[in-house]
A and B are shown apart, each in its own frame.
Chain A
């Protein structure tokens, strides 16, 4: 069956450290992966998109990697801040498909 999985356990890290979130998928051939941020009681907000032929993408303190062999994307926040505390969703669009499939998200807590 097709699955997109994120760690359901919350990630707790200290301010200034690098947060790393994982997104694994099964039985998809993604054209691309996206990462969104969602704050409590709000809609998701787009952060980054990485295509299947890209290994890495950066935007300020954010970095996304995409390994089609491992069927995995990693999302890194360097020099994390308490304001980075939120739920982070990964999403993929299958090659030839119209729908975007979202993971359930991982909650990140950054402690001061």
Chain B
């Protein structure tokens, strides 16, 4: 089974702090994603990466950056945390953007990190 792990389940930080969220997957997936999930808004894509050192902005990249130095690890960085970044953060991975309708595009999610910024 695919396993996606996230470094923390719960995190409390202060406004202005730099925050690192780590995600590791063990199935050699090419693609990795960071989402945030807020009530009523669903999952919103922050960044994704389709290869080592490659990254693409999602729908809400402002205030975030990412790093992918190794295939299995994808980090989300909040450069200066703000209260409006309080949210559930979910990491996911998938095999590849291999074509339409392929099962490979199924995303496997980690357990999430609930971040509170005070």
Interface size on B, residues (CB 8 A): 27
Bin chain A's interface residue count.
Answer: 20 to 34
Would you call B42 and A100 a contact (CB within 8 A)?
no
Q: Which of A13-21, A36-44, A73-81 contacts B (4 or more CB under 8 A)?
A: A36-44
Shortest C-beta distance, A96 to chain B (Å), equals: 8
- For window 1-44 of A, CB contacts with B under 8 Å fall at 8, 31-32, 34, 41-44
Q: CA separation between A43 and B34, bound complex, in Å?
A: 12
Would you call A44 and B109 a contact (CB within 8 A)?
yes
CB < 8 Å neighbour of A93 from B43, B105, B108, B112: B105
Q: CA separation between A98 and B45, bound complex, in Å?
A: 12
Chain B 36-64, CB-CB to A under 8 Å as 1, else 0, gives 00001111010010100000101100000
- For window 82-118 of B, CB contacts with A under 8 Å fall at 90, 92, 97, 100-101, 103, 105-112, 114
Would you call A89 and B97 a contact (CB within 8 A)?
no
